Chain A
Amino acid sequence: MSAGMAKVEEVFRDRSKRARELQAEGKKVIGCLCTFAPVEFITAAGLVPYRMAGSMRKPAELVEHHLETIACSFTRSVLDLGLAGDYSFLDGFVIPHSCDNIVKLYGIWAQTVKHEYGHFVNVPHTTSKASLEFFEAELNVFRKSLERYIGREITDEDLHRSIALHNRQRALVRQLYEFRKEDPPMISGAQVTRIIGAITSLPVAEGNELLESLMPEVREGRYVNKKGKAPRLMIYGTGNDDVPFVEMVEQVGARVVVDDLCHGTRAYWFDVGTAGNPVAAIAKSYLEKINCPRTYRQSPGTHQEDLENRFGYLYQFAQDFKVDGIILYVIMYCDTHAFDAPDIVEYLKSKRVPVLYLEEQYQTSATGRLKTRVQAFLETIA
């Protein structure tokens, strides 16, 4: 393994290590949940955004007394880690209004895990003009709240610099995904999951350096799995931020070449505009460009047009990455995704893309039962 990937493995193994080192140097680290936490503000404030994740490998236990089993199991896993002290190192946390489960998590987190800073960003569910104006006002309040915390102003210049850094990171991740268009892909799905897990635990500039150091290694073909032909898959879903599921899918003989996940393309397939008012630009891109069922897209007309408008990008991914099938992996009790699932299945079928729909608890993502279903799916598309 070359230096870049070795570093990824090291960072991913102990995600909070670098954050704690930085704290020892006097930096403050802010936990962020979900793609809708506007990290640009945190970087602009000179703070380190740290993406909070769950753990598919650890059964949720402490959470039993705090959050019901009917809550989405990803949220429960994150809270469980918080209650166990895994996130005690954070100086603060920022939770956006992504979905009902995340909103609940904010209230519980604020009173049980506790950090010196906490903020909830209310994100509208629609993209109307009024929603955009509202979101911009809400982001300005977030900015003021951070200013109070750090004791200085966050200038437009700070924000522009931060936007450029985060856009750079998004561009680098997209570049990394380009290598997956090859057949065989030049990097595996599990490796990409680790890379994203690693860069989201580092200050954005350090994450960018890590990505830059990786590019030549990937380009040279050091991580290509040349073992013959294998079905190329896309994974669609929610907080799939840990490796067991992707690993399992790849171990049973598929290649995960692209995704539509919160810890994947959703966070990187857009840029924040660089001209004009930076807050308005952030509001606009988060609301209009992040593809997540939690943001309502008005139907342009017929049902078919609605499906095209909402899920056309999935088909585009499928074509660009020459996908043989898609796994819809919906975490159990995730309402926003589950309501969309029949529409997505209908749409993809109309496009003749094979689909496997899985609804599972976040923690049991790699169990034998699931494995059998994935294997059966692979046989049907072989």
Chain B
Amino acid sequence: MEGPREKTTAQKSTETSKRVRLMVKDLAQKAHEARAKQEPIAYLFIASFYDDILRAMDIVTVGTENYAGLCAAKMVAEPFLAKAESEGYPRNLCTYATCGLGFDAMRRDLGGAMPPNAPDGGMEQPTVMLGTGMMICDPRYKWYQAAQRYTGAPLHVLGLLNPSHYYTHADFREFRDYYIRYVMEELRGLVEFLEQRTGRRMNWDRLSEVVDLSEKTIKVWHDTYQLRKAVPAPMPTEDALSAMVPGYFMMGTQLAYDFYRELYDEIKYRVDHKIGTITDEKYRLLWALSLPPWYGLVIFNYFESRGAVFPIEMVYHPPPPPQIPDAVTDPIERMAWRFYDAMTQRYEKARNHTGDPWVEWFLELIEDYKLDGVVFHQAMTCRTIHTGQLHQMNILKKHTDKPVLLLEGDIVDVRNYNEEATHKRIDFFIEILEQYKARHAQ
């Protein structure tokens, strides 16, 4: 997301991630051009895992969560949130969704014209909307279902499956084949829907190329983030909040691949030359599985001013390079494997240890990235990611004594945020970290 470039700059931000703002603008521009030429446009969720299909069919996508984050970072989300509320959507619903619904409602009221102050020229009216069921969260189908009243665009919901992260008592070998089969059928259903609704034909050879490119991109993105284990931290979380854009909104494009290649080289150079994010790195922290406050990314600067840096984060992390059997060559099947594999990688490990795949990941990162503590952020309106954090903390505490901090706020709605209280909590946490490090130094 491009937010951090607006509000905050890590002391030594990577040059590559600074390019993301332009890339975001270009994405919006592509949508405007597509509209002018009456070409199809799809509303799409982040990390959909099937972007490859849209790339191969040359369908322009609009990332609606990304747009809400952009509005928040630019402090222009409020009228959209207010509009959604006046339409009857409760204030506590996912504010990406209410920001998007408010925007769509205004655009409809204006007869298709863009609402005033819409960043990057606004979100274009979609030709189709693509949602998912059982993948990440319920708003991923409920939001667009509601949006139909404003966009009138047909919605297709794929029943993609997150095998439950908590499903640790079961043996996944019993499940794997029908999970993969299901995802494959749903992906084929998507192609069919898109062919019917957009007039575009799938070029299967092209899809194979795109899938190859995506797999290569995931690999180099993943390798880049492995480099972030270095001390001092070569790239902070606020850079990652930008650097995720090519991976999460442009997957399957040469641009995304080139971006991560370049980022890799830059980080490698920094690691080799021991260039850190801040001059005096005292504490290395994990940004837990929490979405950031897009309106208030300056909190990362606040941490840095206290000698704390976030070398790695659990959100917007690259998916693990998929382990796909060699015999699998069909692009749709490869995509299904990519999806399945990412969801189940820590399953066995959890079964034999903490019982919770998320906590396994916390522990791995703490160890691999030499971290001193964990910071959670409870974004009030996103239940999916931000409930269960207390539970994660409870289990985590059984396996590590690293200090943990819980901040409160939101993703988009600044009304849920109290800066002064947040700073106080951070100050207090830094003291605890200091004591923790002193104790362990003895």
Chain A interface (Cβ < 8 Å from any Cβ of B): 65-68, 70-72, 97, 99-101, 103-104, 106-108, 110-112, 118-120, 122, 124-126, 128-131, 133-134, 137-138, 141, 144-145, 293-294, 296, 298-299, 302-303, 306, 332-333, 335-336, 338-343, 345-346, 357, 359
Interface string of B344-356 (1 = CB under 8 A from A): 0000000000011
Known: A128-B159, A345-B88. A100 touches B391 (CB 8 A): no
Tell me which residues across on chain B come within 8 A of A124, comparing CB atoms: 133-134, 159, 161, 182
Known: A111-B355, A299-B155, A357-B88. A120 touches B166 (CB 8 A): yes
Is the pair B138, A100 in contact by a Cβ cutoff of 8 Å? yes
Is the pair A128, B186 in contact by a Cβ cutoff of 8 Å? yes
Tell me which residues across on chain B come within 8 A of A296, comparing CB atoms: 131, 133, 141, 145, 157
Is the pair B134, A111 in contact by a Cβ cutoff of 8 Å? no
The yes or no answer to B195 lying at the interface (CB within 8 A) is: no
Is the pair B391, A108 in contact by a Cβ cutoff of 8 Å? yes
Known: A101-B383, A339-B139. A107 touches B175 (CB 8 A): no
Residue of B nearest to A357 (CB): B88
Closest chain-B Cβ to A156's Cβ sits at a distance in Å of 20
In the complex the two chains form, what is the Cα distance from A165 to B86 in whole Å? 47
Closest chain-A Cβ to B131's Cβ sits at a distance in Å of 8
The yes or no answer to B170 lying at the interface (CB within 8 A) is: yes
The 6 closest A-B pairs by CB, nearest first: A125-B133, A107-B166, A342-B88, A130-B185, A339-B142, A137-B178
Tell me which residues across on chain B come within 8 A of A345, comparing CB atoms: 88
Tell me which residues across on chain A come within 8 A of B134, comparing CB atoms: 97, 122, 124-125
Report the interface size for chain B: residues with CB under 8 A from the other chain. 60
Is the pair B161, A111 in contact by a Cβ cutoff of 8 Å? no
Q: How many contacts A-B (CB < 8 Å)? A: 178
Is the pair B387, A70 in contact by a Cβ cutoff of 8 Å? yes
Residue of A nearest to B387 (CB): A71
Tell me which residues across on chain A come within 8 A of B131, comparing CB atoms: 296
In the complex the two chains form, what is the Cα distance from A359 to B90 in whole Å? 8
Residue of B nearest to A304 (CB): B149
Interface SS, A side? helix
Option from A70, A72, A97, A108 in Cβ contact (under 8 Å) with B164: A97
Interface string of B135-171 (1 = CB under 8 A from A): 0011101110110110010110111010111111110
In the complex the two chains form, what is the Cα distance from A339 to B386 in whole Å? 19
The yes or no answer to B87 lying at the interface (CB within 8 A) is: yes
Is the pair B356, A339 in contact by a Cβ cutoff of 8 Å? no
Known: A103-B166, A120-B164, A120-B166. A65 touches B145 (CB 8 A): no
Closest chain-A Cβ to B412's Cβ sits at a distance in Å of 15
Known: A125-B141, A293-B142. A338 touches B391 (CB 8 A): no
The yes or no answer to B390 lying at the interface (CB within 8 A) is: yes
Task: Show 13 A/B contacts (Cβ-Cβ < 8 Å), sorted by A.
Answer: A68-B389, A72-B383, A97-B134, A100-B387, A104-B391, A122-B161, A124-B182, A134-B178, A137-B178, A141-B174, A335-B139, A335-B383, A339-B93
Chain B interface (Cβ < 8 Å from any Cβ of A): 87-90, 92-94, 97, 131, 133-134, 137-139, 141-143, 145-146, 148-149, 152, 154-155, 157-159, 161, 163-170, 174-175, 178-179, 181-182, 185-186, 189, 355-356, 378, 380-381, 383-384, 386-391, 394-395
Option from B89, B133, B355 in Cβ contact (under 8 Å) with A339: B89
Is the pair A66, B92 in contact by a Cβ cutoff of 8 Å? no
In the complex the two chains form, what is the Cα distance from A343 to B159 in whole Å? 23
Residue of A nearest to B151 (CB): A303
| Besides A125-B133, A126-B133, 13 new A-B residue pairs in contact (Cβ under 8 A), listed by A number | A65-B394, A72-B383, A97-B134, A97-B164, A107-B164, A108-B391, A126-B159, A129-B185, A130-B185, A296-B131, A338-B89, A343-B146, A345-B88
Tell me which residues across on chain A come within 8 A of B164, comparing CB atoms: 97, 103, 106-107, 120, 122
Residue of B nearest to A68 (CB): B387
Is the pair A110, B89 in contact by a Cβ cutoff of 8 Å? no
Is the pair A128, B189 in contact by a Cβ cutoff of 8 Å? yes
Tell me which residues across on chain A come within 8 A of B390, comparing CB atoms: 65-68
Is the pair B388, A108 in contact by a Cβ cutoff of 8 Å? yes
Tell me which residues across on chain B come within 8 A of A99, comparing CB atoms: 138
In the complex the two chains form, what is the Cα distance from A70 to B388 in whole Å? 10
Closest chain-A Cβ to B129's Cβ sits at a distance in Å of 11
Tell me which residues across on chain A come within 8 A of B179, comparing CB atoms: 134
In the complex the two chains form, what is the Cα distance from A336 to B216 in whole Å? 37
Tell me which residues across on chain B come within 8 A of A336, comparing CB atoms: 138, 142
Is the pair B149, A343 in contact by a Cβ cutoff of 8 Å? yes
Option from B148, B384, B388 in Cβ contact (under 8 Å) with A303: B148
Tell me which residues across on chain A come within 8 A of B88, comparing CB atoms: 341-342, 345, 357
In the complex the two chains form, what is the Cα distance from A62 to B201 in whole Å? 56
Is the pair B383, A100 in contact by a Cβ cutoff of 8 Å? yes
Specify which of A111, A124, A125 lies most central, judged by the most chain B CB atoms within 10 Å of its CB.
A125
Tell me which residues across on chain A come within 8 A of B142, comparing CB atoms: 293, 335-336, 339-340
Tell me which residues across on chain A come within 8 A of B146, comparing CB atoms: 339-340, 342-343
Tell me which residues across on chain B come within 8 A of A70, comparing CB atoms: 92, 378, 380-381, 383, 386-387
Closest chain-B Cβ to A33's Cβ sits at a distance in Å of 14
In the complex the two chains form, what is the Cα distance from A336 to B90 in whole Å? 12
Is the pair B143, A339 in contact by a Cβ cutoff of 8 Å? yes
Closest chain-A Cβ to B91's Cβ sits at a distance in Å of 10
Option from B89, B133, B391 in Cβ contact (under 8 Å) with A67: B391
Is the pair B378, A100 in contact by a Cβ cutoff of 8 Å? no
Closest chain-B Cβ to A182's Cβ sits at a distance in Å of 34
In the complex the two chains form, what is the Cα distance from A23 to B161 in whole Å? 37
Known: A66-B391, A67-B387. A298 touches B157 (CB 8 A): yes
